[in-house]
Amino acid sequence: MKIECTIDGKALSLSVNSNKPLSLILMEDVGNRTLLCHCKGKACGNCIVLLNDEAVLSCVIPAFRLRNATVTTFESYQKTRQCRDIERAYQRNGNTPCPNCYASKTLIIESILQSLTNIRPNRVNIPMMSRPRVPTNMEDTLDEQVIIQELSLNTCQCMHMSELVQIVETALTFRRRKRVRRN
Amino acid sequence: MVDKREPTNKANLLHGIVISSAIDVGKITEIKVPPLDNNYVLVAARDIQGTNRVRVLDNATTLLTSSQVSYRNQPILALFGYDSESVQLKSREISISYEEPFTEGPSANISSKSEQIVSVPYTYRYGNMETSTSDETLLTMERTYRFSGNGYSNNNITRITVDIEDDKLHVYMPTQWPAHVRETISEVTTFPKKRIVIHRQPFYAPHDEMLLGPTHLASIAAVASIKAQCPVELQCKIESHRPDITIQRKSWFFPDGKPQAEEISVEVDQGSSPLFTEEMSNQLIAGLVPIYPLEALSVSITFMTSNSPPAHFFGDLGYCDALTSSESQYNEVAKLTGYTSYAWRLKFASDSTSHLPVIKFDKFTRLKEAITDVSTRSDFQRKSAAYEMQSNMKVRLSTFFNYSRGAALACGSGISGFSSECKSLPQQSVQVQLNPNNKVECNTSFYTNGASVGIWKQIICEELGVEKGNISFPSDEQELLDSGPSVLSANSGRMPQQIQRACIQIKEKRFVQPLPICESVLNSRMGGAKGSLFASNSWVALALELEIQTVTLHPVVRNVWVSISTGKVFDEHALRSKIRHTIVSTLHEGGAHLSSDKSFSIDIVIKEEGDQISSSVTSALKGAATAAFLSALQQALGSHIPKVPVTGEIILEAMRENK
């Protein structure tokens, strides 16, 4: 089938099987070199991408879900200013994810930050996963359980969950400060 | 500056798949290939123009087998086509018939290669075992430790692309040993080595997956590319396998706790082909020889082969497993003689000449300081005594078992790189060149990204007084020196020492000789371990506390405390992150669960002493973490855990044994 979508800021017209997973499309058809993991749906969580700004496992997203969608991989995200907030949070907390899950954990944190700071644009698609999403409009409260659930998308256990939650909190502080300065 | 060459264009790229054996051992009787049109390229053993083997130091493995199968998933054929889906479908039409051993019929005489001894055992001994163990007051303790394959599986897809352009063979791949890839491809394809360019791609290989696996695939892809005269790509998962190590230790010690003698026998199953055997025996000996002085010691290491995939490097080369067995053994000796492991170590860990031929240690006072620090921070003495007492009181925690908490302490010295006796490896060199305008070029085949490069640059900056921005590394297209395999923490252990040495040599010639000044340093010239197999200037002490979950029977680690005494620390943030990752991944691989409680923490204290470049602490951390985990489990369950990784079945068995 033919699919029109935007991947890493480039409008693409893909001709792929409708059930081909997004991870394989990115690796084989788009030639993405930062995405290396393909666990065939075992949910290892190392193939996270932002689909319409929401962190999803690309190995379980079939091609037909990409119609008119916007996909952001770590290849383009790492060059953005938002990525610096998370990098600074890693530095501040003295802990960085291992190279295997660095991209995925960073993208999940970005997804959480976008929900918490409520700067997510209106979504075109229906929510991708049935998991509860980090509620928006919660500037003052951090629902730790929901954040942990979101972070659990990545199963690499190089870092403890409490450390990750702390990193989210630090990154959120940096992000809010940036917004205040802009305003 | 040379522009980075982009991987090949996709228009005429052939995608490939490797077809491998479906049996463990046997003989291939027939390979039926469907008619293939011009869209497909098949690579079999007969298409290899050079040698059909991958040579590794003094040994070799078969690249594509055409007759005898030695292990499951041994490569037989490779099929290439214009899209991966059609190649996969076509490969299903290829049928391979096997003749397995022990089947009835005339072919039953195929040699079965179940466990076979490879060579005479490697031995290491000192003292007289007979006279040392003749004292009747001596107590003995015998334990077996088994370290076997764990559930680790790598989900990463490795992409290897080969392209012929302008009489050059360009290979895009992740590898821990680029020089070996170039040599192997040259031997397999008879393509001149100088015309093979390896473009190193980023990778993450905590278990040394990228050491030899990618070399096999790149060789197959190179044969296909030359046959089809177009670019080819192979995408597949590469796995490394852990050698099966069984360690039997018998210790003699006095009732007052003083260790007297030890007899150790080790069996290592290296799968279908024994590789790096000699070096592995040295690494094992380094871990097996305890840091506690003994009157006599006898170590015997036997290597075996079996019908499993080749197993050699798996994050290390046996040092961690050997250290785990040593530390667990002496934790038990301490317990049997009425000491806590902290008090026993303070009393009996001391400098002696007995372990000098193996590891040249740094001061033992630093080890004792680290142990004391970790014990104080974790309140180890109190916890250990309380858990032991409550365990002996048979306080029932649940209907299943008694008190189920444990605390343990372990320590070790960090070593990195190959032993000083490893002569079969190439020279593992690095070159530093000081050019006009304070520009420095560092030539190495190691990866030039990541935290280690920051350390190299910092050393060059400090030694030569140049700016970081003036330090460059040659591109893949240029002639790179062979810095050897990037294993055993060579990036952060051996390489900084070599770079520092090169800089010192340049400094001596600076302002005396005209620029450029170029200095190469070989690994063999590094004289840190004079008369010893290894040199170490870092100590690790680790304490750990765990409990067994009453419902799931999972061992849950509640807290970890680490004290590290090391040389100069270049990047404390990177070191702390590395320590955390090593502890977490080692405990997970050992079968532990980490507490989801908020109180869980890994408390790290790093003590920096002196300006010397430190040896890596990763291997010692792994060994100490597993040893502490095993000893804490033993305290919690009341019986010895003989196997790593620890599973629910092993815990259940230990509980039944204890009843």
User: What confidence tens digit (pLDDT) does each residue in B458-492 have?
Assistant: 899 988 889 888 998 888 777 788 888 888 888 88
Query: What's the CATH class of domain B14-24+32-94+161-237?
Result: alpha beta
Pick the CATH number of A77-182 from 1.10.101, 3.30.70, 1.10.10, 1.10.150: 1.10.150
Is there a contact between B481 and B443 (Cβ–Cβ < 8 Å)?
yes
Q: Is the pLDDT of residue B588 over 60?
A: yes
**Residue partners of A138: CB distance under 8 A and separation at least 6:** A116
Task: Give the whole-number percent of chain B exceeding pLDDT 90.
Answer: 42
Pick the CATH number of A2-73 from 3.40.50.10490, 3.30.360.10, 1.10.10.10, 3.10.20.30: 3.10.20.30
What's the whole-number mean pLDDT along residues B355-365? 83
Query: A29: distance to nearest CA of chain B, Å?
Result: 9
Inter-chain touch B155–A38, beta carbons under 8 Å: yes
**Is CATH 3.30.565.10 the classification given to domain B430-525?**
no
B437 burial type by CB count under 10 A (0-12 exposed, 13-18 middle, 19+ buried): exposed
CA separation for the pair A120, A175 (Å, rounded) = 13
Inter-chain touch B577–A91, beta carbons under 8 Å: no
- Residue B521's pLDDT is what? 87
- B581 vs A: CB within 8 A: yes
Inter-chain touch A100–B204, beta carbons under 8 Å: yes
Q: Is the pLDDT of residue B1 over 70?
A: no
- Residue B4's pLDDT is what? 47
- Residue B525's pLDDT is what? 52
What angle do helix axes B451-464 and B494-509 make, rounded to 10 degrees? 20
Domain boundaries, chain B: 14-24+32-94+161-237, 314-418+533-658, 430-525
Q: Is the pLDDT of residue B58 over 90?
A: no
Inter-chain touch A46–B155, beta carbons under 8 Å: yes
Query: B646: distance to nearest CA of chain A, Å?
Result: 18
Of the candidates B288, B337, B326, the one whose C-alpha atom is nearest the C-alpha of residue B410 is B326
Which 590-629 residues of chain B touch chain A by CB within 8 A?
A: 594, 596, 598, 600-602
B593-620 pLDDT, tens digit per residue, is 888 777 788 899 999 888 888 888 999 9
Of the candidates A46, A51, A116, A43, the one whose C-alpha atom is nearest the C-alpha of residue A77 is A51
What's the whole-number mean pLDDT along residues B374-381? 94
Residue B445 DSSP label: S
Strand, helix or coil at B186? helix
For an interface test with A, give the residue of B581, B589, B600, B621 to mutate (most A CBs within 10 A). Answer: B581
- Residue A95's pLDDT is what? 84
Is there a contact between B220 and B162 (Cβ–Cβ < 8 Å)?
no
Domain boundaries, chain A: 2-73, 77-182
**Residue partners of B386: CB distance under 8 A and separation at least 6:** none
Distances from the Cα of B529 to the Cα of B35, B144, B291, angstroms: 61, 31, 17
- Residue B10's pLDDT is what? 62
Is this prediction's ipTM beyond 0.85? no
Q: B296 pLDDT band (50/70/90 cuts)?
A: very high
- Residue A2's pLDDT is what? 85
- B640 vs A: CB within 8 A: no
> Averaging pLDDT over each range in B143-147, B269-273, B518-522, which range is the top one?
B143-147
- Residue B2's pLDDT is what? 39
The structure's pTM equals 0.87
Query: B204: distance to nearest CA of chain A, Å?
Result: 6
Inter-chain touch A36–B159, beta carbons under 8 Å: yes
Phi and psi angles of residue B657, each rounded to the nearest 5 degrees, phi first:
-60, -40
How many interface pairs between A and B have CB atoms less than 8 angstroms apart? 63
Residue B290 DSSP label: -
Residue B9 DSSP label: P
For an interface test with B, give the residue of A96, A105, A142, A165 to mutate (most B CBs within 10 A). Answer: A96
Query: A63: distance to nearest CA of chain B, Å?
Result: 15
**Residue partners of B614: CB distance under 8 A and separation at least 6:** B414, B537, B538, B566, B567, B568, B569
- A100 vs B: CB within 8 A: yes
- Residue B571's pLDDT is what? 84
- Residue A129's pLDDT is what? 46
CATH architecture type of domain B314-418+533-658? 2-Layer Sandwich (3.30)
A27: chain B residues, CB-CB within 8 Å: 157, 159, 235
For chain B, percent helix, then strand, then coil, each to nearest 5? Answer: 30, 30, 40
- Residue B117's pLDDT is what? 67
Which 8-37 residues of chain A touch chain B by CB within 8 A?
A: 17, 27-28, 31, 33, 36-37
Query: B618: distance to nearest CA of chain A, Å?
Result: 14
For an interface test with B, give the residue of A40, A142, A155, A160 to mutate (most B CBs within 10 A). Answer: A160
Residue of B nearest to A29 (CA): B10
Q: B394 pLDDT band (50/70/90 cuts)?
A: low
Task: Give the whole-number percent of chain B exceeding pLDDT 70.
Answer: 92
Q: Is the pLDDT of residue B154 over 90?
A: no
- Residue B171's pLDDT is what? 93
Q: B108 pLDDT band (50/70/90 cuts)?
A: very low
How many CA atoms within 13 Å lie on the side-chain side of B273?
19
CA separation for the pair B347, B345 (Å, rounded) = 5
**Residue partners of A160: CB distance under 8 A and separation at least 6:** B584, B594, B600, B601, B602
- A171 vs B: CB within 8 A: no
Phi and psi angles of residue A139, each rounded to the nearest 5 degrees, phi first:
-60, -30
Strand order from edge to edge, sheet including B75-81:
B41-43, B75-81, B14-20, B232-237, B157-165, B168-173, B196-200
Distances from the Cα of B387 to the Cα of B343, B492, B596, angstroms: 16, 39, 22
- Residue A121's pLDDT is what? 47
B220-257 pLDDT, tens digit per residue, is 999 999 999 999 999 888 888 899 999 999 999 999 99
* Whether the domain at B314-418+533-658 and the domain at B430-525 fall into the same CATH topology: yes
CA separation for the pair B633, B557 (Å, rounded) = 10
Query: B576: distance to nearest CA of chain A, Å?
Result: 7
Residue at token pair 């096999």: B216
Which 231-250 residues of chain B touch chain A by CB within 8 A?
A: 235
B173: chain A residues, CB-CB within 8 Å: none
CA separation for the pair B510, B438 (Å, rounded) = 11
Strand, helix or coil at A131? coil
Of the candidates A70, A97, A117, the one whose C-alpha atom is nearest the C-alpha of residue A167 is A97
Which positions of chain A have pLDDT values less than 70?
40-41, 118-142, 181-183
- Residue B380's pLDDT is what? 93
Inter-chain touch B577–A94, beta carbons under 8 Å: yes
* Mean pLDDT, all residues of chain B: 87
- B86 vs A: CB within 8 A: no
**Candidates A91, A160, A161; nearest CB to B573:** A91
**Candidates A33, A46, A158; nearest CB to B585:** A158
Q: Is A41 left (phi over 0), alpha (psi -120 to 50) or beta?
A: left
Q: How many residues does chain A have?
A: 183
Is there a contact between B541 and B624 (Cβ–Cβ < 8 Å)?
yes
**Kind of pairing, strands B259-269 and B296-305?**
parallel
- Joined tokens for residue B435: 């050019």
